[in-house]
Structure 1
Amino acid sequence: MTIEEQDILERAAAIGASTWSDALDELGIFGTIEGIPRQSGSGRMTGFAVTARELTGHLGDFEKHDFAVGQLIAAAGPGKVLMVDMGGARISTMGGLAALATRNQGVAGVVIDGACRDIEEIRETGLWLSSRWVVPTTGKTRLKLLPPGCDVSIGGVSVSQGDLVVGDDTGIVVVPRARTGEALAIAERIRGLDEQLESRLRAGESFAAAAAAVGYIPDRNR
């Protein structure tokens, strides 16, 4: 990872998903993932996307080696977030053992537009993981991993390899890699306004007065 990428991740980790969403609004970018709740892990997760798409089918449609969960895990590492596009299928692509291996590899997080299983085991690993579903149904002979790195769709958001991903208790936001610098600058400005507003509110000012004073919400009477 480059020094620039490390700097981006350190700065991004200080900013919540809601603030990132506001920053993307200013840029006219839709990047808020919908319908994929966090199932495991805690705190804020930040990393660069490693994208993967899996074909889905019925029991016996594919060979066991097509499942290729080891290849999926090996594609990521520290500072990376696995973004797995299964088209929302209710089939598990990651269980407890795979989650343990993923955690051991230092992967920042996993987001699955599909399902995981063995959720108790996954939670024991502490891996930050979100999935649309939790089901017992294995992906063996039901899933086929395509070559990682392709563009995918996760929770209604288009995701490309290397995009910035931020997740916390509120949700998950994807920032296009080419717009990361300007989005980060906007997000830091918004966070600064929030901090000023909070300081005034804690000092006893009304919301309307404090918001107007810091320019949080323009006062039409001024």
Structure 2
Amino acid sequence: MADAGIVKRLLRFDSCTVSDALDKLGLSGAVIGLAPLTLPGRRVAGRAVTVKLGAPMPNLPKRHLGAGAVMAAEAGDIIVVEHRGRTDVSGWGGLLSRGAVGKGVAAVIVDGACRDVDESRDLGLPVFARAPVPVTARGRVAEHDFNCPITIAGLAVAPGDWLVADGSGVVFIQAARLEEVITVAEDILARETLMARDIDAGVPIGDVMGANYEDMLKKPEIANV
């Protein structure tokens, strides 16, 4: 089961705060073009179980794409599908969503299109993707591997990496840098919470969002010794 304590900590942050924390640390992680197709407004966080899709080839495992990841997933995990940005054919579907919900999967991320969007919505499964499409993967796309390194929108993602996804998009966090990112995100959240309070109290926004705001993500300078 995904570490519930880590998930709870990550759910405090929206994807923008996590992206800002990555910027401050000089790390990449935010991907472009993925949006919620079901349950807009639902924020999710969890650990990645990966799927790698590609063209049908001889000698590939005889299983439907995504099925291995569903079986391997633990409650709270998020299935992340490398579909190479394809929007002409589905990289995920309703029966897979049904199986994922049964395993307690928190969400599905597809770098491409998926189908059966209404079914996934009715099941209560958050699905983030590039587009909906009715076209089946059968005979057009195959699973090359699962729980392996993949690429999502040009970003390398490994099994066990973490992510936060919401209406603004999807942001990945390398497992080895998780604590650093959370610490920085906590500082950013605290500062922006105070700024929001001041704005609501009537402080002129130009005063609130001044030089300190613009410099908030600058990396600290190392003094010469």
Fold match, TM over 0.5?
yes
Of 149, 152, 155, the match for 1:151: 149
Letter paired with 1:76: A
TM-score normalised over the length of structure 1: 0.87
Write out per-residue CA displacement over residues 27-86 of structure 1, whole angstroms, 9 at most, x where no aligned residue: 1111111112211124100000111101224xx988893434422311223121111112
SS at match of 2:122: helix
- Contact kept, 8 Å, 1:149 with 1:161, in 2: the verdict is yes
The corresponding residue for 1:101 is: 99
Q: Note if 1:56 corresponds to 2:55.
A: yes
- The alignment's TM-score, normalised by the length of structure 2, stands at 0.86
* Mapped pair 1:25 → 2:15: no
Q: What code does the residue aligned with 1:124 have? A: D
Tell me by how many angstroms 1:121 deviates: 1.3
CA distance in 1, matches of 2:101, 2:128: 14
Paired position in structure 2 for 1:195:
193
Residues 62, 115 of structure 1: alpha-carbon distance in 2 compared, 3 angstrom cutoff: farther
CA contact (8 A) 1:62 1:143 kept: no
Which of the pair is proportionally richer in strand? 2
Q: Percent of counterpart pairs with the same letter?
A: 31
Using the TM superposition, name which of 11-20 and 126-135 deviates more. 126-135
* Offset of residue 12 of structure 1: 0.5
CA root-mean-square deviation:
2.4
Is residue 51–residue 145 contact of structure 2 (8 Å, CA) maintained in 1? yes
Task: Provide the C-alpha distance between the structure 2 equivalents of 1:71 and 1:212, rounded to a whole number of angstroms.
Answer: 51
Query: How many residues were matched structurally?
Result: 214
In the TM superposition, residue 110 of structure 1 has moved relative to its aligned partner by 0.5
Residue 68 of structure 2 corresponds to residue 71 of structure 1? yes
